[in-house]
Amino acid sequence: MASERWVFGYGSLMWRPGFPFAERRAATLHGRRRAFCIYSVHHRGTHERPGLVLGLAQGGATRGAAYRVSEADWAETYAYLMEREQPTETYIEARRQVRLEDGRQVDALTFLSDIGHPQWAGVLGLDRQAELIAGATGLSGRNVDYLRDLVEHLREMGVRDAAMERLLGMVERL
């Protein structure tokens, strides 16, 4: 249905969407990969001690969750997402095709990394990512908890992300 409204989540939106939805499906976005590539100075860090949050970097594919939102709930949901995902405007709001677990393809609101934004961290080695994540806390809590929630939720979805699991181990050792 052309008027359907979908949202694709690849980070905390997977386990804590925070908005009403009519349907939730596992989904895959092709052409982008999940990466800790954005400095967080709001939710998981501060300006003095930035953390890292997920973004969608070029290449690969990302398994996440797609939510169908009713038209009646869309305006409120959209406003909520803008406040939650864009406090420092580090993402580019986009519509992208995602493939749902049942084979359907839908057009979903997706937040892509803005590589021109000052908070774009780019490609960081695992040691540097672990260092940043280990000591950062922001308005939404400790950065390590965000990483732990990600790894646990991916496991629940049947996704083993070796790099994220290795990163979590490194952070926990710090």
Output the pTM of the full model: 0.88
Q: Which residues of the chain have pLDDT under 50?
A: 1-2
Please provide residue 171's backbone torsions phi and psi, each rounded to the nearest 5 degrees: -65, -45
- The HSE-up count of residue 126 (CA atoms within 13 Å, CB side) is 11
User: What was the pLDDT predicted at 162?
Assistant: 87
User: What was the pLDDT predicted at 84?
Assistant: 86
> Using CA atoms, how far apart are residues 149 and 80, in angstroms rounded to an integer?
21
User: What was the pLDDT predicted at 4?
Assistant: 85
Q: Which homologous superfamily does the CATH classification assign to the domain defined by 5-173?
A: Gamma-glutamyl cyclotransferase-like (3.10.490.10)
User: What was the pLDDT predicted at 130?
Assistant: 97
User: What was the pLDDT predicted at 85?
Assistant: 83
Report domain extents, the chain. Answer: 5-173
Contact, 73 vs 9, CB < 8 A? no
User: What was the pLDDT predicted at 60?
Assistant: 92
Please provide residue 61's backbone torsions phi and psi, each rounded to the nearest 5 degrees: -150, 155
> Using CA atoms, how far apart are residues 61 and 55, in angstroms rounded to an integer?
13
User: What was the pLDDT predicted at 161?
Assistant: 86
Largest CA distance in the chain: 49
User: What was the pLDDT predicted at 86?
Assistant: 78
